[in-house]
Amino acid sequence: MSTENYVIKLIVNNHPGVMSHIVGLFSRRAFNLEGIICLGVGDGNTSQMYLLIKNDERTEQIMKQLEKLHDVLKVSLHTEEEFSIFNKLCCDLE
Amino acid sequence: MRLSGAEITIKLLEKLGIDVIAGIPGGTNLPLYDSLYNSSIKHILTRHEQGAGFIAQGIARSTGKAAVCFATSGPGATNLLTAIADAKLDSVPIVAITGQVSYDYVGTDSFQEVDAYGLTVPITKHNFLVRAAKDLFRIIPEAFQIAQEGRMGPVLIDIPKNVQTEEVEFEEWPDFNDNSIEYDIDDKVLKQAAKMINEAEKPILYIGGGISNSNSSDILYEFAKKNSIPVVSTLTGLGNFPLEDPLYLGMLGMHGERYTNVLLNEADLILAFGVRFDDRAVGNVNKFCPKAQIIHVDIDDVEIDKIRKVQVSICADVAKVMSKIIDMIEENKREAWISYIMNKKISMPAYLAEENNEFHPMNIIKAVSQLVEDDSIITTDVGQHQMWVAKTYPVKHPKTLLTSSGLGTMGFGLPAAIGAAIANPKKTVVCFSGDGSILMNIQELATLADLNLNVKIIILNNGHLGLVRQQQELFYNKHYMASRFITNPDFAAISKGFGINAYDVKEDEKPIEILKKVFASEEPCLINIPIEKFENVLPMVPPGAGISEMIGGEVI
């Protein structure tokens, strides 16, 4: 994987519709999404989501659009080195 | 207390100040309707759910407060979609409440089951699928808060039938805490913006729906006058600046006046206040205001740098920003810029209709404006008549021109007019429509007849989908494919069939005399007026061109 990839970490309300809000945002705004990992955390009221994206001039707009979603509680942007979760998964799959 | 989900929903709506709901009952929202039976809320039974959605919009757009529509599951929900999407693009606060099949049946393709939640993800500000009746205490107030806070927009609440009938034991009703968002406005950025304004030689204010929604037309006037900043408006911003003021430059964009668009591209500073750089307003964004620095103020952070990267941006309520920045800007008469503008207005005058042609749509629209009070509410459908209204009708107050701007929905005008008339019983409401648009929600004439509201419908009838025909004439070698109607119904007879008085103006009659008669009464009425079939809305910016690259409409 190239180093221009970024990982967006999200904390979201955990209910069955959240995923469609996140994924729908990427498809309808024509943003690229390279990978998703999602897991419930703590008491199950929230989930943690990791989105793998290619960094380009639209990253800022993606971040703002994600922050605007009502079920998204926290958004942060990281380099792939910081969160090598997708890399590890890639190795496992291979 | 022990109440059902349906009873809780209706009681919460009452407590939230809702007094009217437009909708249609069906299998999965019958418990909600049963609870309406003993409610103080007035229900408006429409003839199509889209009509209910646009009635809610008419209420919300004319009052600035959230309004509610009801529909059953399946086709009821899908029929609402257009009105919801329309509200999203124009930032209108409506709360749509749909019935859903019982939760046990969800996912089984049961009768009238459709995934209303999934369908409305991309067209609502937020949506809910209610899984337990106790959740209603949180979801209903939250839906209204979301619809009305920050940048307003539509919210959908999908309530399965079993949740409506489920009973809940509870002690007290929730408090509705109004935790409205506080926007931090950075003083440094304000000062920088003020400095740019003070140093600019040719500034222009580009205003939009954000000015209407933040009720900031008064402060806008003071702000613009203090520093003599000329004002251009988008379609949704019309009514926020006095038309007769020398600073007013009219509507910009695809059907803006020649001088408006040309002057914009000469500006050295654009104050983009409550706007989103929509392509119909700015044309090709790379050719928009090439010499200008831009200060963008909008309540929705997402709009900042979305279409056009700007030099200075502030995400906040534009009313608050103006009330702070006004103290930082100098009084300035800007004599050179203003006289340059005056000369431009003279050398590139607005395109007007021949004065003695009573059948020219622009003259009809002007005549109507002289027959009604200043604060009357005007709705339009979508097409040439909409642009003629935007260019010609003297809209003098915010929230008095209701028009589907972002989505451009034909069929908007009549139900929106009904909604506006419900919310403003003392006002005259005029719906300008075309022979194409009116047929898209004509069934709501029945709803209008039920309510006998003071709504006047004026059909400017050219026998075509006029704006399509115009584009085919200008850009598709006059290949008039599917833009002419082979037959055209007798609209006056249809209207009378619904029980609404109507006039069919003949070509040898005097339309303005007939309009005078119509507006002397407070009854609903429909007037069909034939207009020239090949009249164009000019000037026009071709799709994809810069806004100063207009065709037609030169006055020689």
Q: What is the pLDDT of residues B461-511, one digit of tens each?
A: 999 999 999 999 999 999 999 999 999 999 999 999 999 999 999 999 999
- Cβ-contact B60, B17 below 8 angstroms: no
**pLDDT over 80 (residue B555):** no
Q: Could you tell me what percent of chain B has a pLDDT over 70?
A: 100
Q: In what order do the strands lie in the sheet with B455-461?
A: B401-402, B377-380, B429-434, B455-461, B525-530, B501-504
B463: alpha, beta or left, given left = phi > 0 and alpha = psi -120 to 50?
A: left
- Residue B124 tokens read as 């609502």
What is each CA distance from B77 to B118, B120, B419, in whole angstroms?
Answer: 11, 9, 19
From CA A46, how far away is CA A26, in angstroms rounded?
21
What integer pLDDT is reported at residue A83 of this predicted model?
83
Name the burial class of residue B284, with classes exposed (0-12), middle (13-18) and buried (19+) by CB atoms within 10 angstroms of its CB.
middle
The pLDDT value recorded for residue B476 is 97
Q: In this structure, are residues B156 and B96 in contact, taking their beta carbons and an 8 Å threshold?
A: yes
> What are chain A's domains?
5-93 (3.30.70.260)
CA of A60 vs chain B CAs: smallest distance (Å): 9
Set of chain A residues whose Cβ sits within 8 Å of the Cβ of B118: 17, 20
Identify the residue with better confidence: B389 or B354: B389
pLDDT, tens only, A41-93: 988 899 999 999 998 889 999 999 999 999 999 999 999 888 888 888 888 87
What letter would DSSP give residue B41? P
Across the interface, of B121, B146, B305, the residue whose CB is closest to A60 is: B305
Q: Cβ of A70 and B306 within 8 Å?
A: no
Q: How many CB atoms lie within 10 A of CB B281?
A: 26
pLDDT range class, residue B212, cuts 50, 70, 90: very high
Q: What is the DSSP string of B91-133?
A: T--EEEEEEE--GGGTTTT-TT---HHHHHGGGSSEEEE--SG
Q: Look up tokens 């942060």; give the residue.
A: A76
The sign of the CA dihedral B335, B236, B418, B15 is negative
CA B67 to chain centre: 14
**pLDDT reading at B403 higher than 60:** yes
**Residue corresponding to tokens 């906040």:** B316
Question: Long-range contacts for B182-188 (Cβ within 8 Å, ≥24 apart)?
Answer: B183/B299, B183/B315, B183/B316, B183/B317, B183/B320, B184/B316, B185/B314, B185/B316, B185/B320, B185/B321, B185/B324, B186/B314
DSSP letter assigned to residue B64: S
Average pLDDT over residues B523-548: 96
Which stretches does DSSP call E strand in B387-524? 401-402, 429-434, 455-461, 501-504
Q: What is the DSSP letter of B208?
A: -
B449 in Cβ contact with B524 (< 8 Å): yes
Strands B231-233 and B248-251: parallel
What digits encode the pLDDT tens for the residues B271-295? 999 999 999 999 999 999 999 999 9
**Residue in B117, B304, B305 closest to A17 by CB:** B117
pLDDT at position B524, please? 98
- A70: closest CA of chain B, how far (Å): 7
Biggest distance spanned by C-alpha atoms of chain B = 76
Separation CA B70–CA B96 (nearest Å):
6
Q: Please give the domain boundaries of chain B with CATH numbers for all domains.
A: 2-169 (3.40.50.970), 187-347 (3.40.50.1220), 361-530 (3.40.50.970)
Region B248-256 average pLDDT: 96
Candidates B306, B308, B313: best to mutate against A (most CBs of A within 10 A) is B306
Give pLDDT tens digits for B306-320: 999 999 999 999 999
Query: Is the Cβ pair B121, A68 closer than 8 Å?
Result: no
Please tell me which residue of chain A has the smallest CA distance to B120: A21
Q: Look up residue B472 and give its two tokens.
A: 């085919």
- pLDDT, residue B556, reads 62
Is residue B121 within 8 angstroms of chain A, CB to CB?
Answer: yes
pLDDT of A1 above 60: no
Closest by alpha carbon to B361, among B494, B540, B477, B531? Answer: B531
Which residues have CB under 8 Å from B454's CB, separation 6+? B421, B427, B428, B429, B522, B523, B524
CB contact under 8 A, B301 and A20: no
Residues of B in contact with A58 (CB under 8 A): none
How close is the nearest chain A Cα to the Cα of B115, in Å? 11
What are the start-end ranges of the E strands in B284-408?
A: 293-298, 312-315, 377-380, 401-402
State yes or no: cis peptide before B349, omega within 30 of 0.
no
Kindly report, residue by residue over B127-184, the tens digit of the pLDDT.
Answer: 999 999 999 999 999 999 999 999 999 999 999 999 999 999 999 999 887 767 788 8
Task: Give the nearest partner residue to B122 out of A16, A28, A60, using CB atoms.
Answer: A28
CA distance to partner chain B, nearest, from residue A65 (Å)? 6
Contact A21 B121 (CB under 8 A): yes
User: How many residues can be counted in chain A?
Assistant: 94
Half-sphere exposure of B46 (CA within 13 A, CB side): 30
Query: Which residues from chain B sit within 8 angstroms of residue A65, using beta carbons?
Result: 302
Q: Measured between CB atoms, does B302 come within 8 Å of chain A? A: yes
Mean pLDDT score of chain B: 97
Q: Given an 8 Å threshold on Cβ–Cβ distance, is B121 in contact with A65?
A: no
Vertex B146: Cα angle to B140 and B152 (nearest 5): 135
Amino acid sitting at position B511 = P
Residue B216 token pair = 């900031």
| First CA to last CA distance, chain A | 13
Q: Which of residues 35-64 of A touch B (CB under 8 A)?
A: 60-61, 64
The Cβ of residue B520 has, within 10 Å, a number of other Cβ atoms equal to 8
**If we measure between CA atoms, which residue out of B71, B12, B14 comes closest to residue B39?**
B14
| Chain A nearest C-alpha distance from B425 (Å) | 36
Q: Say whether residue B258 is in contact with chain A using an 8 A CB cutoff.
A: no
Calpha distance B504→B113 (Å, rounded):
43
CA separation, residue B341 to residues B99, B150, B246, B248, B509 (Å): 56, 35, 9, 10, 41
Cβ of residue A2 closer than 8 Å to a chain B Cβ: no
Q: Whole-prediction pTM value?
A: 0.96
Residues of B in contact with A70 (CB under 8 A): 125-126, 146
Residue of chain B nearest A58, judged by CA positions: B306
Do residues B58 and B32 make contact, with C-beta atoms less than 8 angstroms apart?
A: no
- pLDDT band for position A3 (cuts 50, 70, 90): low
Contact between B415 and B444 (Cβ < 8 Å): yes
Q: B18: closest CA among B69, B61, B53? A: B69
Q: What is the ipTM metric for this complex? A: 0.90
**Residues of chain A found within 8 Å of residue B129, distances taken between Cβ atoms:** 16-17
Question: Taking a contact as any Cβ pair under 8 Å apart, which residues of chain B between 130 and 149 contact chain A?
Answer: 146
Residue B527: which H helix or E strand, with range? strand B525-530
